[in-house]
Amino acid sequence: MQTRNRPAGSYAREILNRLLIDLSWSSSRLEGNTYSRLDTEKLIALGQAAEGKDLQETQMILNHKAAIEMLVEEADQVGFNMFTFLNLHAILSENLLLDEDASGRLRRRPVDVFGSSFHPLVMPQTLEECFRLLLKKATAIQDPFEHSFFLMVQLPYLQPFEDVNKRVSRLGANIPLISNNLCPLSFIDVPEQAYIDGTLGVYECNIKYLKMKKDIWHSA
């Protein structure tokens, strides 16, 4: 239940232990991480890494934990601004990128989206302008659920970072929910393939929409 008269993040702090496990596990699972929920709980609660797992899988879980703690503990300070999202990306991508300098920085090179004909923006200056505009539009949305959904859809489409975009979008989508003391999204019941198909659908549908607008413009 929403309790706007309470300090931002109050509800999330009450369920923090469960949120750390559920969201860290499910968000990592959507990236192909093979940690089980029980293994995730042991890692977060006891610092015990699962045997036979890749070090990057363990790092991914721990990065989620640190990022969630930051969003909850600093709920009165985080927001839809460049500082918050660069920090969020830096935490989530720590020790996971081939180029360490790309952590916590908007991308400066082209990227491709696996399984899609979609090609994200290339020019760094244009990318930064669009990212700032995305954050500005998100901030103008008053309804926290619409606010959350807008970012979860639009940030991966823009691909502002070299990698870890979807992880940033899933945790960033929780910012308006946490700040308004609403139940955060854990993604625990989201099937991996359904999530992938939905994300690719946004890429492909937007491509067709933009192409249709271009065709109409030239035929006018």
What value does the CA radius of gyration of the chain take, rounded to a whole number of Å?
Answer: 18
Do residues 90 and 82 touch, judged by C-beta distance below 8 A?
no
pLDDT in tens, 137-153: 999 999 999 999 999 99
Which CATH number belongs to the domain containing residue 105 in this structure?
Answer: 1.10.3290.10
Query: How many domains are there within the chain?
Result: 1
Residue 131 belongs to a domain: yes
Structural domain contains residue 105: yes
The percent of residues above 90 in pLDDT, for the chain, comes to 80
Q: Is 50 exposed, middle or buried (0-12, 13-18, 19+ CB in 10 A)?
A: middle
* pLDDT at residue 161, as a whole number: 98
The residues near 145 (Cβ < 8 Å, ≥ 6 apart) are 176, 177, 182
Q: How confident is the model at residue 114, as a pLDDT?
A: 80
Give the number of other Cβ atoms within 10 Å of residue 166's Cβ.
18
* pLDDT for the residue 71: 98
Residue 3: inside a domain, yes or no?
Answer: no
Residue 201 lies in a domain: yes
Q: What is the pLDDT of residues 95-141, one digit of tens each?
A: 999 999 999 999 999 998 887 778 889 999 999 999 999 999 999 99
pLDDT at 145: 96
Cα gap 139→132, rounded to integer Å: 11
Rounded Cα distance between 35 and 41, Å, is 10
pTM to 2 decimal places: 0.90
**Cα–Cα dist 14/11, whole Å:** 5
- Predicted local distance difference test score (pLDDT) of residue 206: 64
- What would the pLDDT profile of 157-212 be if each residue is shown by its tens digit? 999 999 999 999 999 999 999 999 999 999 999 999 999 888 888 887 764 434 43
Which domain does 78 fall in, by range?
Answer: 10-219
CB crowding 9-20: b at 16 or more within 10 Å, else e: bebbbeebeebb
